[in-house]
Structure 1
Amino acid sequence: MNPDTRSFALGSYTSNVVFYDSISPLSISNASLVICDTNTEHIVESCGEAAHAPRMVLAPGESEKSMPVLESILRTAVEHGLSRGDTIVGIGGGVITDLVGFAASVYMRGCRLVLAPTSLLAMVDAAFGGKTGVNFSGYKNMVGTFYPATDVHIAPSVLASLPEREYRSGLGETIKNALLGDEELLGLLEREHQAVAARNPEVLREVIRRGLLVKCGIVEQDLTETGIRAFLNLGHTFAHALESVAGFGTWTHGEAVAWGTAKAARLGELLGITPSAYRTRIERLYSEYGFRLHAEASHELLIEAMWHDKKLKDGRLYFVVQSGVGQTQLVPVEANTLREVLSD
């Protein structure tokens, strides 16, 4: 079966999302340099022409998302004589897609970028929409660009070998996307818990497709996060702070997002915006998928980390809260309110 390709206009860019069926392997051509990690190199070996391109293999993990590793990618591109018209391909999870996207955006002021996400989290979130970056000075995604990939290849078959914790991490973002605008997807995640957990191929493809399309619809309206794209940060101000304070890698990103989205629901409830029943629905769903909703971390260190977040505006810290599915707003929050939320 031929892949289903959909094109999205993102500012001055066009980004094509190539949806494969539930069993087809990746197939990527015209790669000038392939970047992967030791966990995804086996996927590269079976993805068509890209298997024969020059390759750089990184260590897995959040620690690679750094300026020194970025520099090593750029140096490798120079050594292989890549031009601005050549293509850098990133095959891996969110660390790879963020890092390789950043490298492509600054190499000769922008070369062609193709991404093939191999984790659920990267498929429904990190690979699409042009956000690139590295961690810097101990804080998450502090340095980066907006640079959408020309093509994003979504092949659910590669998730068969994904470790269970990483798979569940992706569900943290998938549930968040459903909350932002797809009641049908949210209901599917509630009804088909066992099938989703078991990675049923057909159910999983539909979950990925719907979860990603929520993000596509938002980013198409606001590439550079001057408006509604900020809603995609539901739970993320809490999450990024937890990742920083606990130490990158202690919590996976999706685990932190699940915790953070539950905290955002509690925040909205305290502010009189989020109905208690909706908060309970969110917490119940995350709990059913095995997410931790309690974190042992210093409240003051978490709040300090939040002040380094990109949602800081005019000296005030803003949070994304909801009154229901698809009913989202951005509100300023005082430190004492955050202390109350974190104490629950």
Structure 2
Amino acid sequence: MASTHLPPASPAPAGTANVAIDLGDRSYDILIGEGLLDDPTTFAGLPKSTKALIVTNTTVGPLYTEKLRAAIAPLHKQVLDIELPDGEQYKDWPALNQVFTRLLEEAADRKTVLYALGGGVIGDMTGFAAACYMRGVPFVQVPTTLLAQVDSSVGGKTAINHPAGKNMIGAFYQPQRVVCDMSTLDTLPQRELLAGLAEVIKYGPIADAAFLGWLEDNLDALLARDRQALKYAVQRSCQIKAWVVGQDEKEAGLRAILNYGHTFGHAIEAGLGYGEWLHGEAVGCGMVMAADLSARLGLIDTATADRIIALIKRAGLPTRGPDLGADRYIELMQVDKKAEGGETRFVVIGPLGQAGMRGAPDALVRDVIATHTR
């Protein structure tokens, strides 16, 4: 198993926290704080350009586009925006082409800066558009959901979905900066908050057992949207992901541990049709299955697996998946990006706070699926 040897955790500062992603000439900062969209200095030092395009969706746009426009106005002569449909089912070519069409209609050049204002779907699509348009233009992540703040906005993974597999078409492309304004979580629906907690919880089992204990002690505060607790959860999650990405930017090895629960979870999303379950809901259920698989493989004891599963349940996340049939789960998991030579590989825990990848006997995987599906 991979031991991450993370830097020690520290309390969330009273002001803005800064977590650095160390990737040489592609390095950037993650800013975590209150009211960052109200402060133009948040965006100081970013590339200036004649045009900028804010990419958002029909839910987030009316709430935050004008705030962001005002904050970045000193950097750009013209700030355009485009609102895409809201939902995982729109993370596809037609929606992505809307972004390209707007850029071309506005004669955007290769210095045009894109701003991703929204959750993981918007962040992934904006990053992919930035990677492709004129073979690469700058972009900035402004995540407005907990899930995006702690996971999808960090690390440069960009993609769209294909009916046969989630995030199978994309590129590694790093942003110029990530701006996590904690104030945007005030408008986040409770279901989305819980989905984001799934991606927070995953960091404990894979990299930081002490953080898992902190989550157990502070889950009620997180569910009640205690601002300081949420800020610390975002900060520590970003520290862990920043360290992992700094070691393995393009997922040649270590970075795959960040996909704990995702092999099962992506199968749930694809099997039901994108948008039926939120990504975090599917990942939460997937972590239950992966914890059970880890125990069945003898990597952790059943008490440790039960501890992880109990926290996921307390967080209000699904712990039983849809009954797609074991054959369908296995078929979908064979399309997973971690599969090699036709063998499905799973992120497994053992010991707590460390993770690795390995295959598993087909019969064992089928037993796990049968145990944790309706």
TM-score by length of 1: 0.95
The amino acid that maps onto 1:60 is: D
SS of aligned partner of 2:303: helix
Paired position in structure 1 for 2:53: 33
Paired position in structure 1 for 2:265: 239
Question: Would you say 1:83 and 2:83 are equivalent positions?
Answer: no
Q: Deviations over 1:62-87 (max 9, x none)?
A: 12210111112112112222221221
Shift of 1:189: 1.4
Distance 1:141 1:159 in 2: 25
Paired position in structure 2 for 1:49: 71
Structure 1 residues 96-111: aligned runs within 5 Å: 96-111=122-137
Paired position in structure 1 for 2:8: none
Question: Would you say 1:229 and 2:250 are equivalent positions?
Answer: no
> Conserved in 1, the CA contact under 8 Å of 2:118 and 2:144?
yes
Shift of 1:316: 1.5
Tell me: CA distance 1:277–1:97, structure 2 relative to 1, closer, same or farther (3 Å). Answer: same
List, as ranges, runs of 4+ consecutive aligned residues in structure 1 with deviation greater than 4 Å: 26-31
Question: Would you say 1:323 and 2:323 are equivalent positions?
Answer: no
> Conserved in 1, the CA contact under 8 Å of 2:156 and 2:172?
yes
SS of aligned partner of 1:249: coil
Shift of 1:179: 2.0
Paired position in structure 1 for 2:7: none
Shift of 1:249: 1.3
The amino acid that maps onto 2:52 is: S
TM-score by length of 2: 0.88
Distance 1:256 1:163 in 2: 17
> Conserved in 1, the CA contact under 8 Å of 2:271 and 2:332?
yes
> Conserved in 1, the CA contact under 8 Å of 2:139 and 2:176?
yes
Structure 1 residues 273-288: aligned runs within 5 Å: 273-288=299-314
Shift of 1:163: 0.4
The amino acid that maps onto 1:129 is: G
Q: Deviations over 1:95-145 (max 9, x none)?
A: 000000000001111100101000000000000101000001332111000
Query: How large is the Cα RMSD of the aligned pairs?
Result: 1.7
The amino acid that maps onto 2:254 is: I
Question: Would you say 1:13 and 2:57 are equivalent positions?
Answer: no
How many aligned positions are there? Answer: 343
Distance 2:226 2:354 in 1: 30
Q: Deviations over 1:279-328 (max 9, x none)?
A: 01101101111112112222211111001110111221111101133211
My pick for the range that moved more, 94-103 or 310-319, is: 310-319
> Conserved in 1, the CA contact under 8 Å of 2:19 and 2:235?
no
Paired position in structure 2 for 1:302: 329
Shift of 1:14: 1.5
Which runs of 5 or more structure 1 residues have no equivalent in the other structure? none
The amino acid that maps onto 1:33 is: L
Structure 1 residues 58-69: aligned runs within 5 Å: 58-69=84-95
Distance 1:189 1:159 in 2: 18
Distance 2:52 2:168 in 1: 28
SS of aligned partner of 1:191: helix
Paired position in structure 1 for 2:366: 339
Tell me: CA distance 1:93–1:135, structure 2 relative to 1, closer, same or farther (3 Å). Answer: same
Paired position in structure 2 for 1:136: 162
Which runs of 5 or more structure 2 residues have no equivalent in the other structure? 1-13
Distance 2:156 2:285 in 1: 25
Paired position in structure 1 for 2:147: 121
Shift of 1:185: 2.4
The amino acid that maps onto 2:343 is: R
SS of aligned partner of 1:223: coil
Q: Deviations over 1:207-226 (max 9, x none)?
A: 11111211111011001000
The amino acid that maps onto 1:205 is: K
> Conserved in 2, the CA contact under 8 Å of 1:178 and 1:214?
no
> Conserved in 2, the CA contact under 8 Å of 1:169 and 1:253?
yes
Distance 1:233 1:26 in 2: 34
Paired position in structure 2 for 1:158: 184
My pick for the range that moved more, 63-72 or 44-53, is: 44-53
Match of 1:195 among 216, 221, 232: 221
My pick for the range that moved more, 316-325 or 280-289, is: 316-325
> Conserved in 2, the CA contact under 8 Å of 1:26 and 1:155?
no
SS of aligned partner of 1:248: coil
My pick for the range that moved more, 164-173 or 310-319, is: 310-319
Distance 1:2 1:284 in 2: 33
> Conserved in 1, the CA contact under 8 Å of 2:266 and 2:282?
yes
Distance 2:322 2:359 in 1: 25
